[in-house]
Amino acid sequence: MAVVLCFGDSLTYGYDPVTGGRFDRADRWPEVMSGELGAGHTVISEALPGRTTVFDSPYADARSGRALLGPILESHAPVDLVILMLGTNDLQVPLGLSARHSASGLWTLIDIVNRSGAGPGAGAPRCLVVSPPPIVQAKGFMGVFYEGRDAESRELEVQFRVICQQTSTPFFAAGDVAQPSAVDGIHLDPDGQHALGHALALRVQELVS
C-alpha cells in the first residue's frame, strides 16, 4: 500500500472553467487516478487555486507552495510519493516572472520533499514532477492574468525537465495527454481531467510498485 500526496493548484483542485466552481470528485484527476490505482493505495489531494511554487501572490494569502509544503508533508506522514504540479500561477502577468524563475521555485520544492523526513522510516518520499499543460490563448477573466504568456508557459516543460534531470526526479508532461479547455485556455475540462488521471496512474504504478 502506498500513500500518494498530490500538491497542486486549481488544475489539481478541479476548477471548472465553465461555472467557476469545482468539478465533482469523480471528475478531478487525483480521484480518477485513485480509482485506477485501487484500494491498495491512498491518494491525498492538497490543492489550492492560485498556488505558486514559491512566490507570494498579490491577490490572496498563503499561496506560496514553499510556505505550506513542509507542514502538509508532516501532517500526512508517512508519504510514499509526492506529485508536484505547479507553475502556471507563477506566470501571472503582474508577477513578471519567467519559466526559469518558476523552475527555480520547483527546485526549492523538490528540495523540501527530499529533506522532509516525511517518507517511510523517516526517510524522504519519492517525488514526481508534472509540468502543467501549456496555456492556449487565455480567455475571459483568465486573459487579464495570462495575456501573452502562451510561449512562456510552453517553456515551463523545458525548464522543468532540466531541473528534474539535475535532481534525478521523475518527470511527466501533462500536455502530452491533456489540453486546456477552449473556454479559458488554461484549465482542464472533465475529459482532460480523466485523461491526466489515467496517465498518471500508470506512472505512479511504475514508481511505487
* For the chain, domain boundaries: 2-208
In this structure, which amino acid lies at residue 162?
Answer: V
Q: For a pLDDT cut of 70, what percent of the chain falls above it?
A: 100
Count each helix (H run) and each strand (E run) in the chain, helices first: 7, 5
CATH superfamily of 2-208: SGNH hydrolase (3.40.50.1110)
Within 10 Å of residue 32's Cβ, how many Cβ atoms?
A: 23
φ/ψ of 122, rounded to 5, equals 65, 20
3-state secondary structure at position 110: helix
Largest separation between any pair of C-alpha atoms in the chain: 48
pLDDT digits (tens, 9 = 90+) for 4-43: 999 999 999 999 999 999 999 999 999 999 999 998 899 9
- The predicted pLDDT at position 60 comes to 83
Give the pLDDT mean for 153-164: 98
Q: What is the CA radius of gyration of the chain?
A: 16
- The predicted pLDDT at position 186 comes to 98
Overall residue count recorded for the chain in this entry:
209
Residues paired with 41 in a beta bridge: 2
The set of cell numbers assigned to 22 is 469545482
Please, how many CA atoms are within 13 Å of residue 178, restricted to the half-sphere of its CB? 29
pLDDT digits (tens, 9 = 90+) for 41-92: 999 999 999 999 999 988 888 999 999 999 999 999 999 999 999 999 999 9
Residues 6 or more apart in contact with residue 119 via CB below 8 angstroms: 77, 78, 79, 80, 125, 126
Please, how many CA atoms are within 13 Å of residue 139, restricted to the half-sphere of its CB? 11
pTM of the model: 0.97
